[in-house]
Structure 1
């Protein structure tokens, strides 16, 4: 069998899909690294929604995908940007997602962390007309919900705080207050502007060295309340530098979807754990690779995971924030959901050549449990764009 797909120049070419998937079986949690996959949500394709109305989620399919992640030993990072937080999923939807997923985690014995932000304070035509007190209260509301659900909190970067904060002192005040309030250690998340342009200048400066200093100052003041940091700057050297400056007992969770194999493998001075959007489509393969690390086989880990970087860099190419489209495409092609539809219609934001290349790279890695199903579904998508086979 073969399939005709367009290249980046719009020319059709023939691709020969593989016929057998990799042998990737479920397994238990890992012993050498803590690994979370930031999970996507499955939209309800039959809901009658319009722009500006609340998102409609297919809860059965969404929770089934989380059980898939847990079955391979990964933890779930819930209600993060991969779940279209702030790009289709509002706070009311995120709150429901957190409640349902945390309950499912208890039933399945799976590990879960959940995003805490301030997205109940939306931008208006005048920007973000809020005070630091209102921003702090919004964070507190979400932190309380996550803790009541029995999940660990990830303090995400706030668009409202980025807009309102006057200097580094405002970040120190808000985060210091939240860490004093938290009942359990949290994960601090530094999300770069490539993932969300509204976060430019976070931690009080567009100079990343100055921003890192403030970030580390927050941690140093409350090390007992910080389980770890999640760094999403797509800069391996900067992450390593931050990692080496962390207090003892504070972990670094890489969020670098460009350089994750080398960061997780580590060096003579340490390594990163993982909280990654790319581990949503790579879950089974990533789990198998990390189990190599559990046995001390760093070379085997790199042998399995290094070839996946080309796919990840493709999905996360600029505008990086639209990587979710490729993630959902691969979930559909893998049989984890019955359709290729997204909250807010974001399935339309990537070009057909981009989607076709994602299919080709994923197929080449053996990611599809049923290659024939993936091929047939890709042909259906191509046909909608007018490509005949």
Structure 2
């Protein structure tokens, strides 16, 4: 008998929905890909200890680290303490420091495990930034912390820099200083204002072409210290424009949660590697697809990855910065955590219709690993949110 439950529609009606998806098999051994694939990982809150969820939310470190083992087992590198981990939206710099320390220590216990850690300026309130030197000191503190604990840095975009920079040269000064001091190669991060409105005009220009010239000049001037750049503008044409002009040896990491399938496959000339928040939610499917691509089976890659794209577009719909709610929702449905709460109560950022659509799309994309558990948990959530299940 099909597993079914009642889900709401935007017109106010309710439908009986029967699940049709098939769980994706796990690989027998840790797979190898032909693309570098980072999954930006979420953190698991601890509601049993969460006395001040909007100020200093508690983290379930055991469940958080266990989820990283799940990603490593599927062949992914981890992008740690990034936007997906609610940096600046529930996880402050103090919490990020503990996350970085714990994850780097855990990685050393897993053969072949790899991760890079987000380093930004989020402990500096943009309103308190008075000069470029303030921004430089903030970056130095965070990059220095990551490197002190044996990690490699992903240089996150800075709200403070966006506020105080007066020209593209100011970005060149700040990035040049930090990159010149870095011990290892760094991944840069171009995050669009759809993810964070405070980053509007980053690189000193509202116009993409002018911003592109600035970031390319920064990379060229510091190419010995730049592993690559993640671009998250949700516009595949802009990513291809950047990718086509990167210097030899500098990698393009797609952060485009709308168009990642085609960007990873490539256009016959070039392709993008990946650093994606959606890979947290669809890790088994992305792993199977990347394995097929590595084996030269592009048809299977497309067949497996394509159904995840509508799901990702729903999760990352505007207001895009609340996508973390959909990522954690799926982690809960799939049994990676035993509750659906988030740091700062961010699960309330999306409504019942959004979660119903994510559930349907996850089923169609074969993302529900344990359908009976997912249906049971979804019924309980729908009941709480006013959608009767009998």
**129-138 or 262-271, which deviates more:** 129-138
Quick check: 2:118–2:154 contact (8 Å CA) kept in 1? yes
- Structure 2 matches for 1:253-332, cutoff 5 A? 253-332=253-332
Work out whether 1:233 is the aligned partner of 2:229.
Answer: no
Find the counterpart in structure 2 of residue 77 from structure 1.
Answer: 79
Quick check: 1:26–1:72 contact (8 Å CA) kept in 2? no
Find the counterpart in structure 2 of residue 121 from structure 1.
Answer: 124
Q: CA deviation at 1:195?
A: 0.3
Find the counterpart in structure 2 of residue 88 from structure 1.
Answer: 90
Find the counterpart in structure 2 of residue 179 from structure 1.
Answer: 179
What CA distance in whole angstroms lies between the structure 2 residues aligned with 1:255 and 1:35?
11
Q: Structure 1, unaligned stretches of length 5 or more? A: none
SS at match of 1:335: coil
Q: CA deviation at 1:220?
A: 0.3
Quick check: 1:38–1:76 contact (8 Å CA) kept in 2? yes
Aligned alpha-carbon RMSD (Å): 1.2
Work out whether 1:207 is the aligned partner of 2:213.
Answer: no
Alpha carbons of structure 1 residues 20 and 302: separation in structure 2 relative to 1, 3 Å? closer
What CA distance in whole angstroms lies between the structure 2 residues aligned with 1:17 and 1:31?
31
Find the counterpart in structure 2 of residue 158 from structure 1.
Answer: 158
Find the counterpart in structure 1 of residue 242 from structure 2.
Answer: 242
Quick check: 1:43–1:56 contact (8 Å CA) kept in 2? yes
Q: CA deviation at 1:55?
A: 2.3
Q: CA deviation at 1:19?
A: 6.9
Deviations 1:32-55 (A, max 9, x none): 110010000001111243365222
Count residues in correspondence. Answer: 386
Q: CA deviation at 1:65?
A: 0.3
What CA distance in whole angstroms lies between the structure 2 residues aligned with 1:180 and 1:246?
19
Work out whether 1:100 is the aligned partner of 2:102.
Answer: yes
Quick check: 2:31–2:74 contact (8 Å CA) kept in 1? yes
What CA distance in whole angstroms lies between the structure 1 residues aligned with 2:115 and 2:305?
23
What CA distance in whole angstroms lies between the structure 2 residues aligned with 1:150 and 1:315?
33
Q: 1:49 aligns with which of 26, 48, 51?
A: 51
Find the counterpart in structure 2 of residue 68 from structure 1.
Answer: 70
Quick check: 1:162–1:202 contact (8 Å CA) kept in 2? yes
Deviations 1:66-114 (A, max 9, x none): 0000000001100000000010100000011001011111111311011
What CA distance in whole angstroms lies between the structure 1 residues aligned with 2:145 and 2:241?
34
Alpha carbons of structure 1 residues 150 and 327: separation in structure 2 relative to 1, 3 Å? same
Quick check: 1:42–1:61 contact (8 Å CA) kept in 2? yes
SS at match of 1:154: strand
Find the counterpart in structure 2 of residue 373 from structure 1.
Answer: 373
**100-109 or 45-54, which deviates more:** 45-54
**131-140 or 1-10, which deviates more:** 1-10
Find the counterpart in structure 1 of residue 12 from structure 2.
Answer: 10
TM-score (norm: length of structure 1): 0.97
What CA distance in whole angstroms lies between the structure 2 residues aligned with 1:164 and 1:26?
51
**278-287 or 296-305, which deviates more:** 296-305
What CA distance in whole angstroms lies between the structure 2 residues aligned with 1:59 and 1:313?
29
Q: 2:114 aligns with which of 88, 92, 111?
A: 111
SS at match of 2:212: helix
Q: CA deviation at 1:299?
A: 2.2
What CA distance in whole angstroms lies between the structure 1 residues aligned with 2:4 and 2:56?
41
SS at match of 1:56: coil
TM-score (norm: length of structure 2): 0.97
What CA distance in whole angstroms lies between the structure 1 residues aligned with 2:366 and 2:53?
37
Find the counterpart in structure 1 of residue 383 from structure 2.
Answer: 383
Alpha carbons of structure 1 residues 18 and 24: separation in structure 2 relative to 1, 3 Å? farther
